[in-house]
């Protein structure tokens, strides 16, 4: 199983109080799709119209930024942790 977690700021787009989700997937995209299927409002906040990660969102796999922000094809193994957060900018 893969753990997918979201920062508290993104919880407003979830349809539950869960802070993390356990899914079975082979890629980051597959894991996120399973969460988005249950929480469709979150998809449009995290992904753009082409299915890539929006510029204001950061996705980490086991503590490292995902390398494929367009198709989210980074492979995941059992026990992997995906963390999705809103990137902050400004000054």
Indicate which CATH number applies to the domain containing 68: 3.10.20.30
In-domain check, residue 49: yes
Element (H, E) at 29: helix 28-38
- Average pLDDT for 23-28: 97
Look at residue 48 and tell me if it is in a domain.
Answer: yes
Q: Give 32-88 pLDDT, tens digit per residue.
A: 999 999 888 889 999 999 999 999 999 999 999 999 999 999 999 999 999 999 877
Asked, for residue 55, whether it belongs to a domain, the answer is yes
Q: Which two three-digit tokens encode residue 47?
A: 């992904």
Burial label, 63 (beta-carbon count in 10 A; 0-12, 13-18, 19+): exposed
What's this model's pTM, rounded to 2 decimal places?
Answer: 0.89
Confidence of residue 13 (pLDDT cuts 50, 70, 90): low
Residue 91 counted as domain residue: no
- The residue range of the domain holding 33 is 2-86
Number of domains in the chain: 1
């Amino acid at each position: 199983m893969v753990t997918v977690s979201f920062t508290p700021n993104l919880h407003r787009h979830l349809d539950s109080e869960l802070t993390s989700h356990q899914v079975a997937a082979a890629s980051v995209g597959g894991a996120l799709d399973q969460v988005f299927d249950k929480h469709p409002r979150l998809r449009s906040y995290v992904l753009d119209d082409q299915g890539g990660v929006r510029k204001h969102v950061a996705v980490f796999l086991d503590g490292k930024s995902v390398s494929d922000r367009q198709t989210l094809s980074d492979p995941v193994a059992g026990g992997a942790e995906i963390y999705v957060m809103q990137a902050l900018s400004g000054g």
